[in-house]
Chain A
Amino acid sequence: MVLDGAIAAGWAGTVSLNPALEREFEARLSDSSRLAFKVALSVLRRREDAEDVAQEAFLRAHRSFGAIRDRERFRAWLVRTTFRLALDRIRGERRRSRREDAVAMDARLGEGTVEDDVARVELRARVAEAVAGLPEKLRLVTVLVAIEEQDLGSVARLLELPEGTVKSRLHRARKELAEKLRWLVIETPTR
């Protein structure tokens, strides 16, 4: 996955945009911050972390805004950049320590018995692990299809790919997920 040149250069600051560009950037921010958040959340699984990564993605977008001001191009760039930043962040965290993110992000535990909670945490961890184990391009398609509520055309535009390619990747991803998770169903027949 290729990032924008300005990101690779690692500039220290941001450029000053003229007022017209600032207004456009503001429109993109209002339009797409939720998208960036959801992409980051799908990887990081914690709201605070996802917000941090979305912010970082927009800081970088501001630096490169002259080249990505078109709405479709901007959203495609934002998705790629946010996904990459989120992956980098979670890999860095895993190097430092393994975290039980399934527990940390879930505020709805405790509705049933302790055994239920344990089983639910285990289930979510396994599903997250299976999704994380997909090749990156399959993983991103899976996430975006969920975010865009199964609208493959929208996902194709976000990825700047033909819709047929998106469909093919989604099929491969779901096939792989089904095979990875089948044992989970067999072991816990009464969910």
Chain B
Amino acid sequence: MACDRNSDALSDVAAGAAASTDLLAHLAACEACRTELAVLRQALAVADEEMTRLLAVEPRPEVDARIRSAVAASEPVRPGRAGWLGPALAAAALLVVALAVILTRPPSPEPTVAVDTRPPPPPHTPAGESALAGAASGSALSQGPRPAGRPAAPAEPEVLVPTGGTEALLRLVTLVHRERLTPAVLGAVDRPAADLAELRPIDIKPLEIVPLGAAESSGT
């Protein structure tokens, strides 16, 4: 067993580093360390021998011809078949749509977002009330601006869609997902998102909590 304080230095020397004067003096006096160094060197000799033996295996002579045949047989890429083109076009189209929505939106003192997942309002409902979307909690527009740098809570909606636009958005997302989006299927609508300017918070009354015991006792 080698002296503990020399084990790292012995590995270094076995791996090819020069031994220090102190280590050489110690080796001259310590048989255990000499033995350990010999063992480490022999271990490396075993590894070198095995690597040499393995790498002595040569490829068969026909390998180059086989590679040439494989290259010649592989299918050339034709223009328009590149796999990245469809997704890239889709991403670009989506970016244009998103920019159009952002740029046509009037400035708001409350920079919050909401998702409209509800159907269009009935005819008698005022447009401003119906356009508030995704406000099941009533908090998206009523909380005011968040402090800078604070991330949105996961439950908050992140996309503001004009009333009636949900279907078109879902269709767009589906086309992107199926990589079938081309400029031909996109139709531009030259109309500002007027509904968005009329968004107002809605009031939701606090939930009334009825104790379970009271309800059961009143039922019996």
Contact = CB atoms under 8 A, between A and B. Distances in A.
Chain B CB within 10 A, most for which of A33, A45, A50, A175: A175
Nearest to A16: B76
Contact of B55 (A128, A146, A179): A146
A182 B11 CA distance: 10
Contacts of B84: 9
Given A174-B15, A185-B39, 18 more contacts: A12-B75, A13-B77, A33-B67, A41-B54, A42-B55, A50-B57, A59-B71, A105-B57, A131-B47, A143-B51, A171-B12, A171-B16, A177-B47, A178-B11, A178-B40, A178-B47, A181-B43, A182-B39
- Chain A interface helix/strand/loop/mixed: helix
Contact of A14 (B41, B42, B71): B71
Given A14-B71, A131-B51, A179-B11, A174 B46 contact: no
B150 interface: no
20 contacts: A12-B77, A13-B75, A13-B76, A13-B77, A16-B76, A25-B71, A26-B68, A29-B68, A33-B67, A37-B58, A37-B63, A45-B54, A47-B59, A55-B63, A59-B67, A59-B74, A128-B50, A171-B16, A181-B44, A182-B43
B207 interface: no
A47 to B, nearest CB: 6
Interface in A26-44: 26, 29-30, 33-34, 37-38, 41-42
Given A9-B84, A34-B59, A51-B60, A127 B52 contact: no
A108 to B, nearest CB: 8
A15 B58 contact: no
What 4 A-B pairs have minimum CB-CB distances, sorted nearest first? A181-B43, A174-B15, A13-B75, A175-B15
Contacts of A127: 46-47, 50-51
The range of chain B's interface size is 35 or more
A38 B70 CA distance: 20
B64 interface: yes
B43 A38 contact: no
Nearest to A9: B84
Contacts of B57: 41, 47, 50, 105
Interface of A: 9-16, 25-26, 29-30, 33-34, 37-38, 41-42, 45, 47, 50-51, 54-55, 58-59, 62-63, 105, 123-124, 127-128, 130-131, 142-143, 146-147, 171-172, 174-175, 177-182, 184-186, 191
A178 B43 contact: yes
A15 B16 contact: no
Contacts of A186: 39
Given A29-B68, A185-B46, A13 B74 contact: yes
Contacts of A12: 75, 77, 81, 83
A47 B62 CA distance: 13
A14 B74 contact: yes
Contacts of B82: 11
Contacts of B70: 55, 58-59
Contacts of A130: 47
B5 interface: no
